[in-house]
Amino acid sequence: MAVSYQLVVDCTSPEPLAHFWAEALHYVIAPPPPGFDSWDDFFRSIGVPEDELGNGVDIIEDPNGEGPRIWFQIVPEKKSIKNRIHIDVNASGGRGTPLDARRERVEAEAVRLVSLGATRLHTNVQEGLDHFAVALTDPEGNEFDIN
């Protein structure tokens, strides 16, 4: 049986990243647990110190319950090296879709994500290779690909 997991992204500003990735992945902002008006109320109830609260929205989830929950955890240091793990956004339609159509879909998704705050780095394409992808960074500089 597969193990359930949560993906955690270290960041300096959780709320903007949560909103960016919710839009990018078609996720939703995770509601607080039942019986609580906010995540801060929940965290207070389990003893989290007051000075660690108030960071705003920081958890997103797949509305269909298929993908992992993602928590944007505040850390004091800024990103300083290349990611050791990254997200691939699958927008092309897969190998059953003609390469030209995949390119159009990937480019359209890149334009959409740039409009949300991503930065385009480069296009990953090689003549004769049945692959097309675009590399970007999210608003805090975390690398990801669209393919």
Q: What is the pLDDT along the chain (147 residues), one digit of tens a residue?
A: 888 899 999 999 999 999 999 999 999 999 999 999 998 999 899 998 888 888 889 999 999 999 999 999 888 888 888 888 899 999 999 989 999 999 999 999 999 999 999 999 999 988 878 889 999 999 999 999 999
Spell out where 16-142 has E strands.
28-29, 59-61, 69-74, 87-89, 119-125, 132-137
| Fold classification of 87-146 (topology level) | 2,3-Dihydroxybiphenyl 1,2-Dioxygenase; domain 1 (3.10.180)
Residue length of the chain? 147
Q: What is the pTM of this model?
A: 0.89
Q: Is 54 exposed, middle or buried (0-12, 13-18, 19+ CB in 10 A)?
A: exposed
Delimiting residues of CATH 3.10.180.10 domain(s) in the chain: 87-146
Contacts of 114 (CB under 8 A, 6+ apart): 120, 136
